[in-house]
Structure 1
Amino acid sequence: MPLRRLLSALFLLASSTAFAAVDPSLLQDLRWRLIGPFRGGRVLAVTGVPGEPEHFYFGGVNGGVWETRDAGRTWQPVFDGQPIGSIGALAVAPSNPRVIYVGSGEADMRSDIAQGNGMYKSMDGGRTWSHIGLADSQQIGRVLVHPRDPDVVFVAALGHPYGPNAERGVFRSRDGGKTWRKVLYKDENTGATDLAFEPGNPEVIYAALWQTRRTPWHIYPPSSGPGGGLYKSIDGGEHWTQITGHGFPDKPGRIGLAAAPNRPRRLYAMVDVPDVGGIYRSDDAGATWTHGSGDDRVWGRGWYFAGITVEPGNADVIYACNTALYRSEDGGKTFVPVKGAPGGDDYHQLWIDPEAPRRRILGVDQGTVVSVDGGETWSSWFNQPTGQFYHVSTDNRFPYWVYGSQQDSGAAGVPSRTNAYDGIAITEFREVTAGGESDEIAPDPQDPQILYGGRVEKLDLRTMQTRTVDPALAYPDLYRGTWTLPIVFSPRDPKVLYFSYQRLFRTADGGEHWTAISPDLTREAPGVPPNLDPPTAANRPGEGSRFGVIYTIAPSRTANHDLWVGTDDGLIWRTHDEGAHWDNVTPAGLGPWSKVGILDASHFDPETAYAAVDRHRLDDVKPYIYRTHDGGRHWDLVASGIPDGSFVNAVREDAVRKGLLYAGTERGVYVSFDDGDHWQPLQLNLPVTSVRDLDVHGEDLVIATHGRAFWVLDGLAPLRQLDARVEGAAAWLFK
């Protein structure tokens, strides 16, 4: 670190007793280090470059845009440096493959969703990018570029997943994204999810609209209102007509579209609608329809799966994406799985080269794979560090191992470092049966070969034997469990392990016996959030038992029998006597459905704690971090410096320096040197992505990202020692 930058920053710091901010140039030589695993995450957007046999792109959900020039053997990120990582759609201009359009924000409406901030464009094959508008669209399901004019582009924008907004529907630009016109719009609750040209005639366009909204209480299906439908334009998007009747189902939900390249008037639609969902086909450009396969394997969970692709040379051969890739050779009447079954991988989009149809690329929840032989063989998805992790934990080995649960691929562990000259390889990661795809993992502090995770499983890494030791095993109907549940050891007694549903449980003998040490600590009636439209608000009977849980557990580091817990419906509680008595210490104004994502008890003071609160399920993406110094009697909101859109997933206090805090947000990492009063980016070389959790391990800061795997910031000494103590020093050795 150059001495001149160090000294200038130190004088700046010494000039203020508050020590509010550090000159960013002082931190620029710090570096995040990717440790993997190199195991892919969810991909909804894929495409290739016609005429270039080994050239393909994919867009990851919070993983950015990646490029391969060797048919998937290696991938390189080409979107890093942009202020968003969630990719919902991408398209290469057919008439100029150096022009690429990217729509940010996934549009699959899952409960764990990554919103975007509009459209991006590259004019040099992905080397540089520009933001080109539609910043409030949040979810983009399809980008369609005119086959002969790269400046004419259509966008299907679904809009806010948790609330109404106007920037949704179908947009058209005729000047390469400089200006946009909304050409198809229903209302503030209905957006667009898919688009298709009639092959050979780009004046004819089909568009799918969907009225939908996510609720805070559903894990799987969102609401699906009556306002959606299939629309057609025959004049390049100037005017639209809704396609109804004549065999097409009423009040459809999500619709996926595909036109047959060698039979332009044939259109396929994957329609999510109760009782009569499935594949629909029109042979007369949408005038009449026949219902093909209603096989639930092909269209089930149609709110999530809508990918459909037609073989370029044969209009009767189509592919449907679901928990396997299915193929029909009779125009959609019957299907057989051709990839994925019985593995249960979740498939989303298949692109087939219209000029060389043996070339294809497939986007899956486990990553992206490429085939150059018509699907007989595929490349690997174990070469993409785009895994989506929910939490991070570390053990006490040297070098320590890093653990977390990866969406759709299961839990994994990786070493924090290696002696190998070429770094940590994919062969060094290990799959972990405890933890599943979403729960926390707790390594035993006395035996790092024992892991606890899931609800609750105990794994011995020496034998790979897994035992279920769940406290609710005998009475499962009495307890609620959401997608992610906490499990944590006491930092003061390494034998004590805590786990929660709506009640908090404690074990001191490895899960052999559990004791419930709290009542139900969630809200009895959290009510209906004001951001919901009437059809969604009325859908409470479908909420099931997956809301109203203790979402985070923070045992005190400084006082015995002292714990803090936070719920996913906006409550914070504290006990001083291991659960015999509980005090509601919720910050004033923290309303229902405010998820307390992480609580962190101070390393220095039993009365100090920090809370990361997430309100994006209320269509509120502002950052919320709360701090108390008096045991929860009073809380301060301390998020200054973190911008809107970067809602906070986690906050952690440094273990050595009092007042040094780290925050993981939906769009990166932030640091505070003054106990949260001011925050500044700690992004450095880290790509913009969702940071779900942080762990201060010795001299390192370890993070779990939801789209770019695990990273480590080695050597926290500069952050810990940059203060007024070094004022006037000619040189300073960090130690």
Structure 2
Amino acid sequence: MEISQFYNLGLSKSNPNRLVAGAQDNGTEMLTNATWDAIRGSDGMECAIDHYDEDVIYAEYQYGGLRKSYNGGNNWDNIKPVSYEGPWNTPYEMHAVNNNLIVVGYNEVYRSTTGGMIWDSISYGVTGGAEIQSIALAPSDENYIYAASYSKIKVTKDAGLSWTYIKPGLANYNMTDIAVATNNPDRAWVTFSDYNNIHKVYETNNAGSSWTNISGSNLPELPVNCIVYQGGANDDLYIGTDVGVYYKNNTMTEWIPFNDGLPNVIVKELEIHYDEGTISAATYGRGIWESPLNTLSSVSTNNLEKLDCTIYPNPANDKITISANTSGINVSIFTLTGQKVIETTSKTISVSSLAKGCYIVELESNGIIKREKLVIK
């Protein structure tokens, strides 16, 4: 895997020792501990792992062949929402908190709240017929979606009911990626390709009503391929270029190399594992690399771990009990396809009516949410 040409990667929040990655000519590969397994063929593209169940995996082959596995890549369901082909590396994203919210871009934007089982077309002429190349969701607001072709970009604040064109103020070069702040849906960044060091990264604080060029003068005259924002830090930003990773935070005016130990290589995607304090890079030609973050976040991933509670027994067959450090807890149980099957405020719950298999238990108290995997045997 040391010379694999990876386009994308997806980390597991529930198991930090697992990741999936999509590779040119080598399909989708899964790394568990130190073992690589080929789990899909063709050209592997964007991939993701469910936040709460490491065996639920999304993979894609060229031109938007979107698939989903419920058993760690042994079997796959076709969840592609359209019959036509998308771009070479069709973009899609799982929401940072809601694992059942998936948005994908072909010529239009499609949104699913059921983990890809049912799709809604939520745009019309969003990019004037051009293929969508980038999709970004706001972690703090499920209704915000940014979508871009190479030359046009729009945003919706109401889950696709209306879209606003936000290209004015941006450079006239090919857009390559979008990132959204974890705590503010109106704050976003866009990166650009082309061979200059002037127009590489732009920032907005008002959902694209205006843009600020934050490229500085220290970046190489090469494409910027991807960007990731680190929440709970100092507005830390990481970008992947054709010669490695660069970094800046809100105390800096210039980007600096972040390449200790990393080869001089094209970086296609970056992803942060908050609980591990690491950032991983999918490179085109030198495999997958991992580094400690420059700054550790002050909060865990999306505040999911602040609600202290336990579900027992797990696995279960007739009832479960919720032990929590707070009163007034709301409990919802979902199938892996997003169907809500139980909703209650009781801490002792009968599950005898549920079929055998895996479920997601969502616990909510005072606006704090925690989700856990439940096995019914």
Alpha-carbon shift at residue 120 of structure 1 (Å): 0.8
Q: Which has the larger radius of gyration?
A: 1
Corresponding residue to 1:231 among 143, 154, 164: 154
Alpha-carbon shift at residue 96 of structure 1 (Å): 4.3
Alpha carbons of structure 1 residues 359 and 207: separation in structure 2 relative to 1, 3 Å: same
Report the equivalent of 1:130.
77
Report the equivalent of 1:192.
132
Kindly provide the amino acid, as one letter, of the partner of residue 190 in structure 2: A
Report the equivalent of 1:145.
94
Q: Which residues of 2 match residues 551-562 of structure 1 at below 5 A?
A: none
Q: What is the rounded CA distance, in whole Å, between the counterparts of 2:251 and 2:67 in structure 1? A: 36
Corresponding residue to 2:36 among 51, 59, 75: 75
Alpha carbons of structure 1 residues 238 and 95: separation in structure 2 relative to 1, 3 Å: farther
Q: Which residues of 2 match residues 656-671 of structure 1 at below 5 A?
A: none
Q: What is the rounded CA distance, in whole Å, between the counterparts of 1:364 and 1:198 in structure 2? A: 25
Secondary structure at 1:56 match in 2: strand
Kindly provide the amino acid, as one letter, of the partner of residue 91 in structure 2: R
Report the equivalent of 1:543.
none
Report the equivalent of 1:256.
177
Corresponding residue to 1:54 among 9, 17, 21: 17
Conserved? CA contact 2:86–2:131, under 8 Å = no
Corresponding residue to 2:232 among 295, 301, 313: 313
Kindly provide the amino acid, as one letter, of the partner of residue 234 in structure 1: K
Q: What is the rounded CA distance, in whole Å, between the counterparts of 1:368 and 1:139 in structure 2? A: 20
Conserved? CA contact 2:190–2:202, under 8 Å = yes
Report the equivalent of 1:209.
149
Report the equivalent of 1:89.
46
Q: What is the rounded CA distance, in whole Å, between the counterparts of 1:56 and 1:150 in structure 2? A: 16
1:467-510 per-position Cα deviation (integer Å, ceiling 9, x unaligned): xxxxxxxxxxxxxxxxxxxxxxxxxxxxxxxxxxxxxxxxxxxx
Alpha carbons of structure 1 residues 333 and 182: separation in structure 2 relative to 1, 3 Å: farther
Is 1:279 the counterpart of 2:196? The answer is no
Q: Which residues of 2 match residues 8-407 of structure 1 at below 5 A?
A: 39-70=2-33, 73-79=34-40, 84-105=41-62, 116=63, 118-133=65-80, 134=82, 136-147=85-96, 149-157=98-106, 168-184=107-123, 185-186=125-126, 190-210=130-150, 228-245=151-168, 248-249=169-170, 251-272=172-193, 277-295=199-217, 297-298=219-220, 300-302=221-223, 305-322=224-241, 323-330=243-250, 333-339=253-259, 343-353=263-273, 355-356=274-275, 358-371=277-290, 373-374=292-293
Q: What is the rounded CA distance, in whole Å, between the counterparts of 2:49 and 2:17 in structure 1? A: 15
Alpha-carbon shift at residue 231 of structure 1 (Å): 1.0
Instruction: Select between 306-315 and 139-148 the one with higher mean Cα deviation.
Output: 139-148
Alpha-carbon shift at residue 201 of structure 1 (Å): 0.9
Alpha carbons of structure 1 residues 273 and 237: separation in structure 2 relative to 1, 3 Å: farther
Alpha-carbon shift at residue 45 of structure 1 (Å): 0.9
1:565-601 per-position Cα deviation (integer Å, ceiling 9, x unaligned): xxxxxxxxxxxxxxxxxxxxxxxxxxxxxxxxxxxxx
Alpha carbons of structure 1 residues 286 and 172: separation in structure 2 relative to 1, 3 Å: same
Kindly provide the amino acid, as one letter, of the partner of residue 345 in structure 1: V
Alpha-carbon shift at residue 341 of structure 1 (Å): 8.8
Alpha-carbon shift at residue 154 of structure 1 (Å): 0.9
Secondary structure at 1:339 match in 2: coil
Conserved? CA contact 2:56–2:68, under 8 Å = yes
Alpha-carbon shift at residue 317 of structure 1 (Å): 1.5
Secondary structure at 2:67 match in 1: strand
Q: What is the rounded CA distance, in whole Å, between the counterparts of 1:375 and 1:141 in structure 2? A: 30
Alpha carbons of structure 1 residues 321 and 201: separation in structure 2 relative to 1, 3 Å: same
Alpha carbons of structure 1 residues 187 and 260: separation in structure 2 relative to 1, 3 Å: closer
Alpha carbons of structure 1 residues 90 and 315: separation in structure 2 relative to 1, 3 Å: farther
Q: What is the rounded CA distance, in whole Å, between the counterparts of 2:229 and 2:64 in structure 1? A: 31
Q: Percent identity?
A: 19
Kindly provide the amino acid, as one letter, of the partner of residue 59 in structure 1: G
Alpha-carbon shift at residue 263 of structure 1 (Å): 4.8
Alpha-carbon shift at residue 122 of structure 1 (Å): 1.1
Kindly provide the amino acid, as one letter, of the partner of residue 42 in structure 2: G
Question: Gapped runs of 5+ residues in structure 1?
Answer: 1-37, 106-115, 158-167, 211-227, 377-735
Alpha-carbon shift at residue 268 of structure 1 (Å): 1.4
Q: What is the rounded CA distance, in whole Å, between the counterparts of 1:373 and 1:147 in structure 2? A: 21
Alpha carbons of structure 1 residues 120 and 362: separation in structure 2 relative to 1, 3 Å: same
1:207-229 per-position Cα deviation (integer Å, ceiling 9, x unaligned): 1122xxxxxxxxxxxxxxxxx22
Alpha carbons of structure 1 residues 127 and 344: separation in structure 2 relative to 1, 3 Å: same
Q: What is the rounded CA distance, in whole Å, between the counterparts of 2:127 and 2:181 in structure 1? A: 31
1:420-471 per-position Cα deviation (integer Å, ceiling 9, x unaligned): xxxxxxxxxxxxxxxxxxxxxxxxxxxxxxxxxxxxxxxxxxxxxxxxxxxx
Alpha-carbon shift at residue 370 of structure 1 (Å): 4.2
Conserved? CA contact 2:180–2:189, under 8 Å = yes
Conserved? CA contact 2:110–2:120, under 8 Å = yes
Alpha-carbon shift at residue 178 of structure 1 (Å): 4.1
Kindly provide the amino acid, as one letter, of the partner of residue 366 in structure 1: G
Conserved? CA contact 2:95–2:139, under 8 Å = no
Q: What is the rounded CA distance, in whole Å, between the counterparts of 1:143 and 1:91 in structure 2? A: 9
Kindly provide the amino acid, as one letter, of the partner of residue 243 in structure 1: I
Conserved? CA contact 2:139–2:185, under 8 Å = yes
Greater relative contact order (Cα < 8 A, sep 6+):
1
Q: What is the rounded CA distance, in whole Å, between the counterparts of 1:331 and 1:253 in structure 2? A: 28
Alpha carbons of structure 1 residues 181 and 342: separation in structure 2 relative to 1, 3 Å: closer
Alpha-carbon shift at residue 312 of structure 1 (Å): 2.7
Q: What is the rounded CA distance, in whole Å, between the counterparts of 2:105 and 2:286 in structure 1? A: 23
Q: What is the rounded CA distance, in whole Å, between the counterparts of 1:372 and 1:39 in structure 2? A: 16
Alpha-carbon shift at residue 89 of structure 1 (Å): 0.8
Q: What is the rounded CA distance, in whole Å, between the counterparts of 1:100 and 1:201 in structure 2? A: 24
Q: What is the rounded CA distance, in whole Å, between the counterparts of 1:341 and 1:324 in structure 2? A: 10
Alpha carbons of structure 1 residues 329 and 117: separation in structure 2 relative to 1, 3 Å: closer
Secondary structure at 2:35 match in 1: coil
Alpha-carbon shift at residue 172 of structure 1 (Å): 2.2
Alpha-carbon shift at residue 174 of structure 1 (Å): 3.9
Conserved? CA contact 2:127–2:152, under 8 Å = no
Kindly provide the amino acid, as one letter, of the partner of residue 194 in structure 1: S
Q: Which residues of 2 match residues 478-497 of structure 1 at below 5 A?
A: none
Alpha-carbon shift at residue 293 of structure 1 (Å): 1.4
Secondary structure at 1:190 match in 2: coil
Secondary structure at 1:51 match in 2: coil
Q: What is the rounded CA distance, in whole Å, between the counterparts of 1:288 and 1:331 in structure 2? A: 22
CA RMSD of aligned residues (A): 3.0
Alpha carbons of structure 1 residues 148 and 67: separation in structure 2 relative to 1, 3 Å: same
Kindly provide the amino acid, as one letter, of the partner of residue 132 in structure 1: I
